[in-house]
Amino acid sequence: MGVGDDASVRARRRFIKAAALVVLGGAQLASAKARRARVVVAGGGFAGATCALQLRRLDTAIDVTLVDPDERYATCPMSDAALVGWRSMQSLTVSRAGLARAGVRYVRDRVASIDAQARHIRLASSKDLAYDRLVVAPGIRFLWDRLPGYGEADSQRMPHAWRAGAQTGLLAAQLRDIDDGGVFAICVPPGLMRCPPAPFERASVVAAYLKQHRPRSKVLIFDANNHFPKQDVFAAAWQEFYPGMIEWIPATEGGAVQRVDASNMTLYTSRGAQRVAVANVIPQQAPGLLAVDAGLASGHGWCPVKPESFESALIENVHVIGDACIAGAMPKSASAANSQALRCARAIVASLREQELPSPQFDSVCYSLLGRDRALAIHGRFAVADGEIRQIDIAQDADQPSPQAQALQAARWYDRIVAESFGT
Ligand SMILES: Cc1cc2nc3c(=O)[nH]c(=O)nc-3n(C[C@H](O)[C@H](O)[C@H](O)COP(=O)(O)OP(=O)(O)OC[C@H]3O[C@@H](n4cnc5c(N)ncnc54)[C@H](O)[C@@H]3O)c2cc1C
């Protein structure tokens, strides 16, 4: 073997060693990347909080930060019970302590903007946070002035109570002050909205309160639509328990409110002017502004997502979950948000580990209180078919337990979803 041969063997060994180091280095880099992956969650409602907790449950090595300006979160589910004193707002308010216990870093701030190219977000306090994956879950915003006369300031006179907290307290106080014989109006907007059965739950619990305390009063529902979920079940319950107390006026009968005058508590429809004692005006809705400003919303106004992972259909490495996204047939509900968030967390972990996931199924259940000890459940199961989330079965009424049993289930469901979503 000559000198030239030795040199080529040494060169070959050096090449093999270098190649091995490259492979090893690549693997270390990949696993380090997975270990130190940074996921930032913008918004800590049912969707964002569930996702942050689930990421930590699935992989404690992931660095999870949740940003939300509110240290305490008041749940909309059961807030109609708080309106009439069946629950306290305090019992519906959760802190961020459960997140901290699970190792989620909570940052009390507002996400002001997203730089998807550089993969960082800017907070309202001007700090930047870098991410590998961003989950955007800001819920809804209200489209003030879509209804002429109804700007944000008018919600102090005509509360929406469509975000639980101070607004719930305001509407509850107005209900307590109503004179016997006074009208409590609920105005339902057109378009996609959070929890479509909730205005009719609200009508039921308000009627239960009025029946006991102001029996000559009435609930008028001015609806910009022509039907609502489980209409037959609601109508039958109203007939049985609150006869003559609740009147639903669909759009075809002049139910769409065209403008309001908060200074003299008047609603205007094609039927004319209606003065009321209490006006619960629910504004039209769209995703939280952050999602829109970041370019995550499309022409219809909501955020399209890939149904397998809830990654935005418009921006890579950014996921949108909860009320802000458009998830095929799924309703905008806390249980849908929770189900989407669990899947989104699994999909993020799988993608960081470069694993495949089976196709998802989702659940949603919305309980509506019909009275203090009776409720109605609307169940949905969903799966991905042809790239869309479709409903796969609906529980038949015949299979439903009694309204009393459903009221007990509603209370249990509430405790469970709050514990799962916020780690309480
Ligand atoms: C009266 C009523 C009753 C309801 N009852 C039920 C029920 O019985 N069952 C059910 O399943 N659903 C119910 N819902 C629907 C449910 O409340 C919503 O679908 C659910 O809250 C959606 O969760 P989310 O996390 O998408 O949004 P949200 O709960 O609104 O949370 C969004 C969070 O994002 C934060 N945020 C917003 N912008 C930013 C930003 N720029 N930076 C950081 N954080 C931000 C907000 O502070 C908020 O904490 C009800 C709704 C109403 C109004």
Query: What is the per-residue pLDDT for 32?
Result: 41
What number is the average pLDDT over the span 211-232? Answer: 97
Give the per-residue pLDDT at 299.
Answer: 85
Gap between the Cα atoms of 305 and 297, Å rounded: 10
The residues that bridge with 65 in the sheet, in sequence order, are: 40, 105
Q: How confident is the model at residue 4 (pLDDT cuts 50, 70, 90)?
A: very low
Higher local confidence (pLDDT), 188 or 400: 188
Handedness of CA 237, 241, 244, 246 (dihedral sign): negative
CA-only gyration radius of the chain, Å = 26
Q: Stretch 31-40: mean pLDDT, rounded? A: 71
> Which atom, in ligand 1's list, is nearest to the CA of 199?
1
In angstroms, the Cα distances linking 1 to 8, 12, 39, 348 are 11, 15, 57, 56
Specify the length of the chain in residues.
Answer: 424
pLDDT of residue 6: 47
Instruction: Please count the CA atoms within 13 angstroms of the CA of 279 that sit on its side-chain side.
Output: 25
By three-state DSSP, how is residue 40 classified?
A: strand
56 Cβ inside 6 Å of ligand 1: no
The verdict on the CB of residue 380 being under 6 Å from ligand 1 is: no
Mean local confidence (pLDDT), 28-35: 45
Please state the φ and ψ torsions of residue 138, each to the nearest 5 degrees.
-90, 5
User: Which atom of ligand 1 lies at the shortest distance from residue 47's CA?
Assistant: 25
**323-381 pLDDT tens trace:** 999 999 999 999 999 999 999 999 999 999 999 999 999 999 999 999 999 999 999 99
Indicate the pLDDT class of residue 33, thresholds 50, 70 and 90: low
Q: Strand runs (DSSP E) across 228-385, as ranges?
A: 246-249, 259-261, 266-269, 272-275, 278-281, 285-287, 303-304, 318-320, 325-326, 361-371, 374-385
For tokens 């075809």, name the residue. Answer: 252
How is residue 165 annotated by DSSP?
S
Q: Does the beta carbon of 323 sit less than 6 angstroms from any atom of ligand 1?
A: yes
The pLDDT value recorded for residue 195 is 96
CA 164 to centroid of ligand 1, rounded, Å: 9
Pocket probe for ligand 1: among 125, 163, 195, 228, the residue whose CB has the most ligand atoms within 8 Å is 195
- What share of the chain has pLDDT > 70, as a percent? 90
Which residue from 297, 391, 383 is spatially nearest to 343, judged by alpha carbons?
383
Distance 270 CA to ligand 1 centre (A): 33
Contacts with 276 (C-beta within 8 Å, 6 or more apart), sequence order: 182, 183, 184, 185, 220, 265, 266, 267
Quote the CA–CA distance of 240 and 243 in Å, as a whole number.
Answer: 6
- Taking 80 as the threshold, does the pLDDT of residue 134 lie above it? yes
Query: 223-281: per-residue pLDDT in tens?
Result: 999 999 999 999 999 999 999 999 999 999 999 999 999 999 999 999 999 999 999 99
Angle at 34 between CA 31 and CA 39, to 5 degrees: 165
pLDDT (0 to 100) of residue 145: 84
Look up residue 125 and give its two tokens: 């306090």
pLDDT for res 300: 85
Q: What is the pTM of this model?
A: 0.91
Provide the sign of the torsion angle of the four alpha carbons 101, 105, 110, 115, taken in this order.
negative
> What pLDDT is attached to residue 400?
75
